[in-house]
Amino acid sequence: MNYLNDLAADIEGWKRDGRYRTMKVWESGSDTWMNLNGRKILQMSSNNYLGLTHHPKLKEAAIAAIEKYGVGSGSVRTITGTLDIHDQLELELAAFKGTEAALVFQSGFTTNQGALSSILGADDVVISDELNHASIIDGIRLTKAARKIFAHKDMNQLEAVLKETQKHRKRVVVTDGVFSMDGDIAPLPDIVQLAEAYDAIVYVDDAHASGVLGKNGKGSTDHFGLNGRVHIQIGTLSKAIGAVGGYVAGAQLLKEHLIHTARPFLFSTSQTPAVAATCLAAIQVLRESSDLVTKLWDNANGFRSELQRLGFDTGASETPIIPIIIGDPAQTMRFSDRLLEEGVFAQGIVYPTVAMDKGRVRLIVTAQHTKEDLAFALNCLQKVGREFGLV
Ligand code: PMP
């Protein structure tokens, strides 16, 4: 059998549906303007919320770590792969998040896989928002726990599920802190209140809230003043923090348990020294000043208001993630392509990542966008929006 025929048939189908993607290859550039095929393009789709990827202190830390430790860690964490900078990073993260302990993984994706599969057993139930990230869905699939999905942010449904699952040993309510496709914020105070009433555990994935929400970007738990009431906080080091990695922040016993059971932690080589040192420097930058976070929110709120004034549908956005809802997948991808011709990159996001009729271009505003950058983006969006009859 020629297995490639099967793959080709899938690919043809995606092309017919307008869902086929070619990866763009970006050449060197700054935080906000990047080169693509020799052209300068305004980047409006990066998760580099604070612009830390180019921060001088982070670059210096990475270079110094390479000089001191070399480019690789040589092993998994439990053999020779825990360097003092990994240890310091975890202490710094725990202090930043206000938790007893933190444990670093190689990515946010594997953090969810490791944490969910470690804490959930066959007698437990996991209760998950329908719009939670793919890594949460995959993490849940790795467990033998019963699964319940509640409609997006629907607290009545969540309560009904909590009521009907009381026979389970442990109930874990899982939510994104900020939802990555819509840019809306989870109703964490309501979730915590229900969890407390029904003796459930709260697990929040702050991938898009780390460095964004809360004082100095401490995350959604801090944003809502819920310190001490959220059991498990997940964060990523790959977005606002500027490098790559993920972490679990919570109790020391949770950390010790994960060290013994979380398979991506146990069986995959630790973060490179440069990455660990970069993340450590990033957390220190965040702890020292809230200026970047303030700038991020000023930019995001101003830009979202302007889009709405022009007549765009920005969905449920209330964070720097700002979708423009278009609907049809093919039309969405054409809109994104036209914007690129005008010099702005905004990723088109279509089925199956979002519902078939909810295609959107997703704009992400960062602290590094200047007033001129944002005005340029708005001009291009208005021009292309008129062509597509959106405004
Ligand atoms: N959780 C959420 C909610 C995310 O949006 C992402 C990133 N797409 C991840 C986890 C994975 O994080 P990372 O990119 O660090 O693997």
Domain total of the chain: 2
Which range is least confidently modeled, 17-31, 105-119, 175-189? 17-31
Distance CA 186, CA 359 (A): 21
Q: What is the largest CA-CA distance in the chain?
A: 61
Beta-strand relationship, 321-327 and 359-364: antiparallel
Residue to mutate (ligand 1; options 105, 206, 238, 321; most atoms within 8 A of CB): 238
pLDDT at 326 over 70: yes
Question: In terms of residue numbers, what domain contains 370?
Answer: 21-49+290-387
Average pLDDT value for residue range 34-58: 95
Q: Where are the beta strands (DSSP E) in 138-293?
A: 146-150, 171-176, 201-205, 232-236, 246-250
Q: Which atom of ligand 1 is nearest to the CA of 238?
A: 15
Q: What is the CATH number of the domain that holds 38?
A: 3.90.1150.10
Predicted pLDDT of residue 16:
87
pLDDT interval class at 28 (50, 70, 90): confident
Residue 271 and residue 123 share a domain: yes
Residue 231 and residue 211 share a domain: yes
- Residue pair 363/284 in contact (Cβ under 8 Å)? The answer is no
Mark whether 260 is an active-site residue: no
Task: Report helix, strand and coil shares of the chain as percent, to nearest 5.
Answer: 45, 20, 40
The answer as to whether 8 is a domain residue is: no
Residue 239 and residue 121 share a domain: yes
Question: Does ligand 1 have an atom closer than 6 angstroms to the CB of 82?
Answer: no
> Which token pair is 222?
């801090």
Residue 277 and residue 176 share a domain: yes
Average pLDDT value for residue range 331-353: 94
Give how far Cα 140 sits from Cα of 39, 166, 198, 262, Å: 42, 19, 21, 13
Residue 221 and residue 325 share a domain: no
Residue 41 and residue 73 share a domain: no
Predicted pLDDT of residue 352:
84
pLDDT interval class at 22 (50, 70, 90): confident
Report which protein residue has its CA nearest ligand 1's atom 13: 108
- Residue pair 116/139 in contact (Cβ under 8 Å)? The answer is yes
Q: Which atom of ligand 1 is nearest to the CA of 180?
A: 5
Question: Does ligand 1 have an atom closer than 6 angstroms to the CB of 53?
Answer: no
Domain boundary, last residue among 288, 318, 333 = 288
Average pLDDT value for residue range 327-352: 94
Question: Does ligand 1 have an atom closer than 6 angstroms to the CB of 176?
Answer: yes
Mark whether 152 is an active-site residue: no
Domain boundary, last residue among 236, 269, 288 = 288
Residue to mutate (ligand 1; options 179, 236, 268; most atoms within 8 A of CB): 236
Per DSSP, what are the bridge partners of residue 176? 205
The answer as to whether 208 is a domain residue is: yes
The catalytic residue among 55, 86, 133, 208 is: 208
Domain boundary, last residue among 225, 260, 288 = 288
- Residue pair 366/46 in contact (Cβ under 8 Å)? The answer is yes
The answer as to whether 74 is a domain residue is: yes
Question: Does ligand 1 have an atom closer than 6 angstroms to the CB of 135?
Answer: yes
Q: Is 50 helix (H, G, I), strand (E, B) or coil?
A: coil
Residue 158 and residue 175 share a domain: yes
Closest C-alpha among 350, 368, 346 to residue 359: 350
The answer as to whether 335 is a domain residue is: yes
Predicted pLDDT of residue 178:
98
- Residue pair 378/44 in contact (Cβ under 8 Å)? The answer is no
The answer as to whether 7 is a domain residue is: no
Distance CA 82, CA 103 (A): 11
The answer as to whether 3 is a domain residue is: no
Question: Does ligand 1 have an atom closer than 6 angstroms to the CB of 108?
Answer: yes
Question: Does ligand 1 have an atom closer than 6 angstroms to the CB of 362?
Answer: no
Q: List pLDDT tens digits, range 353-381.
A: 888 899 999 999 999 999 999 999 999 99
What letter does residue 233 receive in the DSSP assignment? E
Question: Does ligand 1 have an atom closer than 6 angstroms to the CB of 107?
Answer: yes
pLDDT at 29 over 70: no
Distance CA 341, CA 381 (A): 11
Question: Does ligand 1 have an atom closer than 6 angstroms to the CB of 208?
Answer: yes
pLDDT interval class at 330 (50, 70, 90): confident
Distance CA 343, CA 371 (A): 16
Q: What is the CATH number of the domain that holds 217?
A: 3.40.640.10
Mark whether 144 is an active-site residue: no
pLDDT at 341 over 90: yes
pLDDT interval class at 31 (50, 70, 90): confident
The catalytic residue among 117, 180, 220, 238 is: 180
Q: List pLDDT tens digits, range 154-169.
A: 999 999 999 999 999 9
pLDDT at 52 over 70: yes
Residue 156 and residue 115 share a domain: yes
